[in-house]
Amino acid sequence: MRSDPLGYLSTELDTLKLQGLYRTLRVLEGEQKAKTTFDHRQVVNLSSNNYLGLTTHPLLRERALEATRRLGVGSGSVRSIAGTMDIHMELERRLAVFKNTEAVVVFQSGFAANAGTVAAVLSKDDVVISDELNHASIIDGCRLSRAAIKVFPHKDAAAARRIVAELPAAQRKLLITDGVFSMDGDLGALPALCDIAEEFGCIMMVDDAHASGVFGRNGRGTIDHFSMHGRVDIQVGTLSKAIGALGGYVAGSRALVEFLYHRARPFLFSTSHPPAVAAACIAALDVLEQEPQIIERLWENTRFFKSGLQTLGFNTGLSESPITPVIVGDGALAMKLSDRLFQEGVFAQGIAFPTVARDKARVRTIVTATHTRDELQFALDVFAKVGRELSIL
């Protein structure tokens, strides 16, 4: 009889179970909304990236349906062969105006945008200088590029400068940070890093996945928030979070975008979005222009919930965005906290090593514009009850 060559996977899963770190997938029964049903339980949902509630916005839904009726359900090809539809080009033009750049190229996801772009613009003789908490898609892109990787401590621009200053002047360098860090909700050291990039001639790249639709005028992102237009060579955004649909994009010069048309592997080797996705994203940009009060509501909810957690005495780290971690340290405790919150009607995902450092396990909360005050107050009351029960407070 054939032995199981994948038997070691079950052993690893058993270890996770022993450590209290084994997770089952929560299943959403219905729409992605602020209050909804997962695993047969109605919960206040603090785990989605649906910052503005656009996943269920009537305009996006209608435009997606209209595009499906008119154009079908699939693009049928990769972008570089037969899969570039006029609706893809329209979305890219709209995004370029939104981001105030010459051009934009859309990828299938934010992950593909980051990994595909870093791997395309760098090669083995180059070096990337990267914040230690940058997203996994950036890390994978760096590895795929085969460039040397130098990591600086989180947001420590002085350390980044020391690294850059020691590198040969002629070596190509990419300085890269998240705009908003996805696990901590704090902002990248953008102005200081842009100064360094200019001083040493580095390529400056920012991943604004959690900032687009959230920071800046009409949600234009951290580059707009910090008034850094023209100082960031490569801006990445996602269409999967505040925009409410799916996808990622790179905004920058026309030459950058055309280079990515020729060299970014997800662009070349993976099929483009269905028309419905592109149509929904275009509609989302219309909503950002026409209903900026949604973003204001997101921030009102953020202030209310974050200060509520802090008043209760939770450690919320250095968050400056709608992402607020409740840091408890131990991984098993974070999972226990998440499970108890869920039983009491609040869904806040537990996050442990390797996603965050071993001693920084947490549950992560994300409020949206569509949470009501009552829902957020309910969630705070449950946090207080469970926090005391588990001796976190």
Ligand X SMILES: Cc1ncc(COP(=O)(O)O)c(C=O)c1O
Residue 36 touching ligand X (CB under 6 A): no
How many CA atoms are closer than 13 Å to the CA of 32, on its beta-carbon side?
21
Q: Which of 241, 336, 360, 371 is catalytic?
A: 241
Is residue 182 a contact residue for ligand X (CB under 6 A)? yes
The answer to whether 319 contacts ligand X (rule: CB under 6 A) is no
Site string for ligand X, 245-264 (x = CB under 6 A): ---x----------------
135 binds ligand X (CB under 6 A): yes
215 interacts with ligand X by CB under 6 A = no
Nearest residue (CB) to ligand X, 248 versus 325: 248
Residues 6 or more apart in contact with residue 340 via CB below 8 angstroms: 386, 389, 390
Does residue 240 interact with ligand X by CB under 6 A?
A: yes
Name which of 207 and 233 has its Cβ closer to ligand X: 207
CA distance 216 to 223: 8
Residue carrying structure tokens 């994948």: 6
Window of 34-42, 103-111, 139-147, 284-292 that interacts with ligand X by CB under 6 A = 103-111
Instruction: Rule CB under 6 A: choose which of 43, 64, 67, 111 binds ligand X.
Output: 111
Task: Say whether 371 is catalytic.
Answer: no
Check binding of 155 to ligand X (CB under 6 A). no
Closer CB to ligand X, residue 237 or residue 387?
A: 237
| Short-list 38, 51, 10, 4, CA closest to 339 | 38
Q: Which window, 3-11, 205-213, 298-306, 317-325, contacts ligand X (CB under 6 A)?
A: 205-213
Tell whether residue 321 is a contact of ligand X (CB under 6 A).
no
Among 43, 209, 309, 356, binds ligand X (CB under 6 A): 209
* Cis upstream peptide for 266 (omega within 30°): no
Q: Which of 186, 207, 344, 375 binds ligand X (CB under 6 A)?
A: 207
HEC states along 216-267?
A: CHHHCCHHHHCCCCCCCCEEEEECCCCCCCCCEEEEECHHHHHHHHHHCHHH
Residue 263, Cα to own-chain centre: how many angstroms?
Answer: 24
Annotate 147-175 with DSSP letters as a single string. Answer: -EEEEE-TT-HHHHHHHHHHS-TTS-EEE
356: tokens are 């965050």
Do residues 333 and 393 make contact, with C-beta atoms less than 8 angstroms apart?
Answer: no
**Catalytic residue (choose from 88, 150, 210, 360):** 210
Quick note: the x/- pattern for ligand X over 278-297, rule CB under 6 A, is: --------------------
Residue from 52, 92, 110, 133 binding ligand X (CB under 6 A)? 110
Measured CA to CA, the distance from residue 102 to residue 207 in angstroms comes to 18
Active site residue 210: yes
Nearer to ligand X, 238 or 319 (CB): 238
**Any catalytic annotation for residue 306?**
no
In the structure encoding, which two tokens stand for residue 308, read together? Answer: 């509520």
Select from 105-113, 226-234, 338-346, 372-380 the region that touches ligand X (CB under 6 A): 105-113
Cβ partners under 8 Å of residue 3, min gap 6: none
Secondary structure letter of residue 345 according to DSSP: T
**Least Å from the CB of residue 185 to ligand X:** 11
H or E segment and range at residue 106:
strand 103-107
The whole-angstrom distance between residue 353's C-alpha and the CA centroid of its chain comes to 18
- Closest-by-Cβ residue to ligand X is 110
Nearest-angstrom CA–CA distance, 264 and 222: 25
* Of positions 48, 75, 109, 319, contacts ligand X by CB under 6 A: 109
Residue 178 near ligand X by CB under 6 A? yes
Q: In sequence order, what are the beta bridge partners of 237?
A: 249
Residues in contact with ligand X by CB under 6 A are 109-111, 114, 135, 137, 178, 182, 207, 209-210, 238, 240, 248
For the annotated catalytic residues, the residue numbers are 182, 210, 241
